Amino acid sequence: MTIIPAIDIINGKCVRLTKGDYAQQKVYNDNPVEVAKMFADAGLKRLHIVDLDGAKAGKIINLSVLEKIAAATNLIIDFGGGIKTITDVGNVFNAGATMATVGSLAVKNPEMLEEWLMEFGADKFLIGADVLDEKIKISGWLEDSGINIFDFIGNMIGLGAINIFCTDISKDGVMQGPSIDLYKTIMEQHPEINLIASGGVSNLADVVELKAIGCSGAIIGKAIYEGNITLQQLTNIN
């Protein structure tokens, strides 16, 4: 299983939200590049960057942060938040990301996503499924799409996308454990996808359990920043 530390960006700073609430944000570091270098120095290979300003504004805001991190590390980066056009996708790749993360657009305009998959290749995209009560939320978790998570994943598979990460918003940032039952059900219904768990990881036991049920990766944020999991522990699992 691949361990993927997360860096969420607001105003160029490394922050974490609680349950996706922009009013509940905590700044962990004014310099995300320092944080990324810390992950790289520990031996981790991947990085998940979310432009929270971009997700809220509907356009990429913090591309320069991606450029700086890519220039300073050899991390395999996926970047999302505000990607709306094929030009945005190209800009993200040119700035140093290996994968573009797409969430809201995959829900609102799957036809456009299909064009991107054909243009760049399905392996260049990480599809984000942000869930509350098994329904997909979009636009920085601010809008309810009304679409069921299982139907959504089925739709994505139909387009050729198999790299999918799922965040249970009710678990995100509260350090109470991930949605094991939800992930189990997803894996049972769609065993062909590469499912990355996101949200709720609070300790090493959570990571071990996610690995045991077959998740291909885990995105971890707050548990690292709060010191509940050490980078050495994650490197050993990686």
pLDDT on residue 20 = 67
Which pair of tokens denotes residue 137?
Answer: 């939320």
| 3-class secondary structure, 35 | helix
Spell out the per-residue pLDDT of the chain, length 238, in tens: 999 999 999 999 998 777 667 777 788 889 999 999 999 999 999 999 999 999 889 899 999 999 999 999 999 999 999 999 999 999 999 999 999 999 888 989 999 999 999 999 999 999 999 898 889 987 666 667 789 999 999 999 999 999 999 988 887 666 678 999 999 999 999 999 999 999 889 999 999 999 999 999 999 998 999 999 999 999 888 6
Supply the residues annotated as catalytic. Answer: 8, 130
Alpha-carbon distance of 210 to 215, in angstroms, equals 6
Q: Which residues contact 109 (CB under 8 A, 6 or more apart)?
A: none
Pairing of strands 125-132, 135-138: antiparallel
pLDDT on residue 103 = 87
What is the separation, in whole angstroms, between the first and last Cα of the chain? 6
> 50 and 32 in contact (C-beta within 8 Å)?
no
Extents of the domains making up the chain: 2-237
Alpha-carbon distance of 112 to 105, in angstroms, equals 8
SS3 per-residue string spanning 121-155: CHHHEEEEEEEECCEEEECCCCEEEEEEHHHHHHH
pLDDT on residue 237 = 80
Residues constituting the chain = 238
CA angle, 228 as apex, 186 and 8 as ends, to 5°? 65
Q: What is the DSSP letter of 59?
A: S
User: How many Cβ atoms are within 10 Å of 124's Cβ, its own excluded?
Assistant: 18
Alpha-carbon distance of 148 to 137, in angstroms, equals 10
Q: What residue type is assigned to position 45 of the chain?
A: K
pLDDT on residue 19 = 67
CATH number of the domain located at residue range(s) 2-237 in this protein: 3.20.20.70
pTM here is: 0.92
- In angstroms, how far is CA 72 from the centroid of its own chain? 21
